[in-house]
Amino acid sequence: MAFVDHDLHIHSRVSPCAGPEGDTQLPENILKYAEKNKLHTICLTDHYWDETVSGAEHTWYVELHTQRLRSVLPLPQSDKVRFLFGCEIEMNMNNVLGLAPEHYDNFDFVVIPTNHLHQSGVTCRGNEDVAERAGLWCSRLDHVLEQNLPFHKIGIAHLTDTGIMGGKGYLESLQLISDEEYIRLFRKAANRGVGIELNFNWLNTPDDEMEIHLRPYRIAKEEGCKFYLGSDAHAMFQFEHMKENFQKITDLLQLDDSHKFII
């Protein structure tokens, strides 16, 4: 069994952030991507804020309610691919998670992003400097890990995605976090049994930046964390080199089935 046999973080056109490029991001096309790449398990994880939880008023999350999320159901199935139904929730700047405890049962898998710091006014003020962002990276992850959640079906999304915390500034933030702090957090993550997502674009990452990305994941592996792959694709073209990217990630971290987070 190969490590690269799944993609647990995929958006459909229900998520508005892809814009017109996401128009063909339909469940049946996503299933074709999985079949073509011999993925055995995929999961749809559109952006979502549970309307029974307050804290997203006056934000784009108001539009991302249950009815919209469920409009893609039932998901197409095939005898080769397990197509799961999940969501990507949000945690606002007051550390409120946008999914009521009793509603985790409605999903096969829940992706929690702790570093969506591009969402000014929702997750943060927006004018934080690199040091404050480094602090938020740690404290927000820590807060999620302190909750009483069904961690066996939860993944922590894109922890080193440079696109969502201010481009190059984000790399600086990651460099400010000490090995000791990474060890503390990933030890806790391993104890909780939460999945750690691997998803950024390593095919186009220069070597000097690579080490900044690899450091937390190497520590996470050392501490016993389990990993899953997630493309976070919002449009079909983003699937193009995904399998190659996944393979590179897996090879660099020397992951085998014993490191795999399985739902």
- Within residues 83-122, the interface with Zn ion by CB under 5 A covers 88, 113
Under the binding rule (CB under 5 A), the answer on residue 197 touching Zn ion is no
Residues 35-94 that bind Zn ion (CB under 5 A): 88
Per 3-state DSSP, the chain is made up of helix, strand and coil in percentages (nearest 5) of 45, 15, 40
List the beta bridge partners of residue 161. Answer: none
Minimum CB separation of residue 11 from Zn ion in Å reads: 6
Which span (129-137, 152-160, 172-180, 187-195) binds Zn ion, by CB under 5 A?
152-160
Task: Pick between residue 39 and residue 223 the one whose CB is nearest to Zn ion.
Answer: 39
Binding piece for Zn ion, criterion CB under 5 A, among 91-99, 156-164, 202-210, 221-229 = 156-164
CB of 8 to Zn ion, least distance (A): 11
Q: Which residue in the block uniquely carries the two structure tokens 């990933």? A: 186
Q: Which is nearer to Zn ion, 111 or 189 (CB)?
A: 111
Counting contacts by CB under 5 A, is residue 155 touching Zn ion? Answer: no
Q: CB of 224 within 8 A of CB of 216? A: no
Contact 159, 134 (CB under 8 A): no
Min CB(91)–Zn ion separation in Å: 11
Part of the chain binding Zn ion (CB under 5 A), chosen from 23-31, 71-79, 157-165, 244-252: 157-165
How many residues bind Zn ion (CB under 5 A)? The answer is 4
Cα–Cα distance between 57 and 38 in angstroms, integer?
A: 41
Residues 6 or more apart in contact with residue 156 via CB below 8 angstroms: 111, 112, 113, 114, 141, 144, 189, 194, 195, 196, 197
Asked if residue 232 binds Zn ion (CB under 5 A), the reply is yes
CB of 233 to Zn ion, least distance (A): 9
CB of 15 to Zn ion, least distance (A): 7
Question: Beta strand pairing status for 82-88 and 109-112?
Answer: parallel
Tell me the CA distances in angstroms from 49 to 15, 18, 63, 141, 199, one per residue in order: 12, 18, 8, 19, 22
Task: Pull the structure tokens for residue 152.
Answer: 């066996």
Q: Are strands 6-10 and 195-198 parallel, antiparallel or unpaired?
A: unpaired
In the complex with Zn ion, the residue whose CB is nearer, 128 or 197, is: 197
For the bound state, the minimum distance from the C-beta of residue 208 to Zn ion, rounded and expressed in Å, comes to 25
Find where tokens 């391993």 sit: 190
- Nearest approach, Cβ of residue 158 and Zn ion (Å): 6
Residue nearest to Zn ion (CB): 113
Q: Could you list the residues that contact Zn ion (CB under 5 A)?
A: 88, 113, 157, 232
